[in-house]
Chains A and B, each alone.
Chain A
Amino acid sequence: MAIATSNAEHHAEHSEHQDLRVLGLLTFLASESLMFGGFFAAYLFFRGITEVWPPENTEVELLLPTINTIILVSSSFVIHFGDAAIKRNDVKGMQRWYTITAIMGAVFLLGQVVEYLTLGYGMTTNVFSNCFYLMTGFHGLHVFIGLLLILGVLWRSRRPGHYSATKHVGIEMAEIYWHFVDIIWIVLFSLLYILTLF
């Protein structure tokens, strides 16, 4: 591994091309969103072939998820304030906003758990509940990963000089990932919750 490390360090400091990590993440997320696309397609397919959707006794509740949605969507703005702060070289401000984002993400996850516990049906009840738990669960997993990224950023920002106005790719990437999680949730919320009203 010594070889890999020394070379990787060397590559990471190549001055011959710009930092491409953000572009790479965007490409990856474009791909990742298509995995959710597959789930959405399956969901819509099942919705199309099932007469009553969602079936009786497996309806979704709307209040808690709506609050959750508001929390998650607003956290996207909060994390953007953090990004703006670091671009002004304000590490403290970044840490503050990112901490708030992390708390909001944790509250969202907690809300999901509460929702699971209060729904009254499980994953194996019928095809709708299969889709519901799988899609929200996979999204929850992504929220959790985003949370880890944000906590990682906060952990690293403890080191003085690690992030600055000119060096904040990690912060930017955590922010982009969080936006991605947010956008997926908006589509998911529309499909799983709002569509059931019609």
Chain B
Amino acid sequence: MTQVEFPPNTPHEDDKTQLVSEHTIHPQAWKWYDYFTFNVDHKVIGIQYLVTAFVFYLIGGLMAVAMRAELATPDADLLDPNLYNAFMTNHGTIMIFLWIVPSAIGGFGNYLVPLMVGARDMAFPKLNAIAFWLNPPAGALILGSFFFGGSQSGWTAYPPLSLVTANTAQSMWILAIVLVGTSSILGSVNFVITILKMKVPSMRWDQVPLFCWATLATAILALLSTPVLAAGLVLLLFDINFGTSFFKPDAGGNVVIYQHLFWFYSHPAVYLMILPIFGIMSEVIPVHARKPIFGYKAIAYSSVAICVVGLFVWVHHMFTSGTPGWMRMFFTISTLIVAVPTGVKIFGWVATLWGGKIRFTSAMLFAIGLLSMFVMGGLSGVTMGTAPFDVHVHDTYYVVAHFHYVLFGGSVFGIYAGIYHWFPKMTGRMMNETWGRIHFVLTFIGTNLTFLPMHELGLQGMPRRVAMYDPQFISLNQICTVGSFILAASVIPFTINVIWSWIAGQKAGDNPWQALTLEWTTSSPPIVENWEVLPVVTHGPYDYGIDNHSAVPPSGATEVSA
């Protein structure tokens, strides 16, 4: 491939825009204040997503800690039960819609996808900025809803409960979710087109990094499922505010149709939250195990398989909603089938670790921690995917334990791993490994201490979403509460580590992990157009230990120090 010389970025003659300063004409690196503007550079947007999402993570985490403190005793003595419900609802909403989805898809996806496929930016930079800037208003609506009592119907907002509690807050909640959903759709359009059409010409489909495969599957899934949630929420909004009766059984409506519409999005949503994490795992593990990834094609295609099968499992959330027998059987089977591609990935990663020269960096610790915890969560998911067992544990703490194992032990661990892994690329500085290990140990212990006892609680029949419970559950609940305090404490070393490293960490250089994917061929942080000269792909993304490959920028590229 001939190398494309990139024309210098000079303002057009007819450009009437008054340029702010010299550095906007041809910036080599973004200044701190650029992160507070409607910037269209994918790297800026990625970091905006990550930081915003992290702020919401802290808010949602505080809600969780308040709830666990409340649950330390059987009585509702700390929080007003309505406030508990509002915390419960908004903890779920914030953690899903404003933390995991924006950070995993929006943050890492935006930052890494163009760098990994050798593009100078996303396909639609302005659209990208719009997609990000829909998030802060959504967060403001969610937080503002607390002034109106907070939405109290759980993150699923099932009618009729959502029709009778805190209607103003519920409407704000709906608008917030629609905003986030719009953001998700616009972002996904960008990802699909970027991955399909913006690959550097020398990159074949079997050289596309697995993170991009995962992001592609995620984006397709988001495109297919998110609008359906919007439809369901519009119906709910009309029911609350405009006197329609879609979900009012006494006027001919039906509440189960809401559940169908809701879960048609919200089950795929859990794959939206885990597929990018699978991608991060597929990037982190080979690099730190110094081995080619085991079963590249299997892992790539299993992402697509999860995307396809994931669209046909939503009714397993509704086994107790009076669904007919054939439906239970069909969706039990499809739920068990979706575990197969997931298992393919897990075995691929374990086989990659097998016999590798593993470097136990913080990123790798989190990745291995994820492996163990995600398997736990996945197995409890398989048990609940079978209708007979689900009828027994539905709406108990067993469910809470399961999805916290996959979402915290899976998604959040994956985001942590991703941050430790790509922080040098994003900021040009290394994170402190010692603090990273302290963070990992605290998080790992905290997670297991918090969520493991919940399995037992659920099997004994403690219902979820309640502020008061039977005194027989007190001892296990107190273990959970202690664990949640450890989890809360675990975020402190991480936050300090990030801020400190960003300011004064050790300089990272272009490729501190000796990785082979394209994002490591440019400077850290990457220059504004990513490369002076577009890189040429000469080897696969995971050819570690083969032929002594080294990832070097193409000749002629100028090193730019951060």
* Residues on A facing B (Cβ under 8 Å): 1-11, 14, 16-18, 20-21, 23-24, 27-28, 30-39, 41-42, 45-46, 49-50, 55, 123-124, 126-127, 130-131, 134, 138
Question: Chain A residue with minimal CB distance to B534?
Answer: A16
- Of the 9-residue stretches B7-15, B479-487, B493-501, B506-514, which lies at the interface with chain A? B7-15
The smallest C-beta distance from B326 to any residue of chain A, in angstroms, reads 15
Classify chain B's interface size. 35 or more
Question: A138 CA to B198 CA in the complex, in Å?
Answer: 34
Whether B76 sits at the interface, judged by CB under 8 Å, is: no
Q: Which residues of A contact B260 (CB under 8 A)?
A: 41, 45
Q: Please give, as numbers and ranges, the residues of chain B lying within 8 Å of A38 by CB-CB distance.
A: 227-232, 261, 264
B224 within 8 A of A: yes
CA distance A32 to B37 in the complex (A): 29
The verdict on B251 contacting chain A, using a C-beta distance below 8 Å, is yes
> Nearest CB to that of A55 among chain B residues?
B252
Known: A6-B19, A7-B40, A11-B121. A45 touches B254 (CB 8 A): yes
A127 to B235: give the CA distance in the assembly, Å: 11
Report yes or no: A4 in contact with B243, Cβ–Cβ below 8 A: no
B12 in contact with A124 (CB, 8 Å): no
Contact B246 A42 (CB under 8 A): yes
Contact of A34 among B120, B227, B238 (CB under 8 A): B227
Known pairs A31-B224, A38-B228, A134-B235 / 8 extra A-B pairs, C-beta < 8 Å: A21-B124, A23-B193, A31-B185, A32-B227, A35-B231, A42-B257, A45-B254, A138-B234
> Which of B12, B24, B197 contacts A9, CB < 8 Å?
B12
Asked if A16 meets B4 with Cβ closer than 8 Å, knowing A24-B189, A31-B188, the reply is: yes
CB-CB < 8 A to A5: which residues of B? 15, 17
Take A4-B129, A31-B188, A38-B261 as given contacts and tell me if A127 and B245 are in contact as well, using a CB distance cutoff of 8 Å: yes
State whether A20 touches B245 (Cβ < 8 A).
Answer: no
> Are the C-beta atoms of A6 and B231 separated by less than 8 Å?
no
CA distance A138 to B233 in the complex (A): 14
Which residue on chain B has the smallest CB distance to residue A126? B252
Most A CB contacts (10 A, CB to CB) among B121, B244, B261 go to B244
Give a binary string over B1-32; 1 marks a CB under 8 Å from any A CB, 0 the rest.
Answer: 00010000101100101111000110000000
Q: How far is the CA of A46 from the CA of B246 in the complex (A)?
A: 9
The answer to whether B234 touches A28 (Cβ under 8 A) is no
In the bound complex, how far is the Cα of B257 from the Cα of A42, in angstroms?
6
Question: Which residues in window 133-162 of B have CB below 8 A to A?
Answer: none
B134: min CB distance to chain A, Å = 14
Tell me which residues from 157 to 189 in chain B have a Cβ below 8 Å from any Cβ of chain A: 185-186, 188-189
A8 to B119, CA, bound (A): 15
8 A Cβ contacts from B216-257 to A? 223-232, 234-235, 238, 242-246, 251-254, 257
Contact between B251 and A127, CB atoms less than 8 A apart: yes
A127:B4 contact, CB within 8 angstroms: no
Check A37–B243 contact: CB distance below 8 A: no
Q: Please tell me if the beta carbons of A37 and B39 are within 8 angstroms of each other in the complex.
A: no
- Verify A35–B228 contact, CB threshold 8 A: yes
Please, which residue of chain A has its CB at the minimum distance from the CB of B230?
A35
B228 near A20: Cβ-Cβ < 8 Å:
no
> B197 touching A20 by the CB < 8 A rule?
yes
User: Contact: B252 with A6, CB < 8 Å?
Assistant: no
**Contact A20-B124, Cβ < 8 Å, known A3-B20, A30-B223, A123-B243:** yes
Task: Report chain A residues within 8 Å CB of B185.
Answer: 28, 31
Instruction: Name which residue of chain A comes closest to B34, CB basis.
Output: A3
B367 to chain A, nearest CB (A): 32
Q: Are B197 and A134 in contact (CB under 8 A)?
A: no
CB-based contact A8/B126 at 8 Å: yes
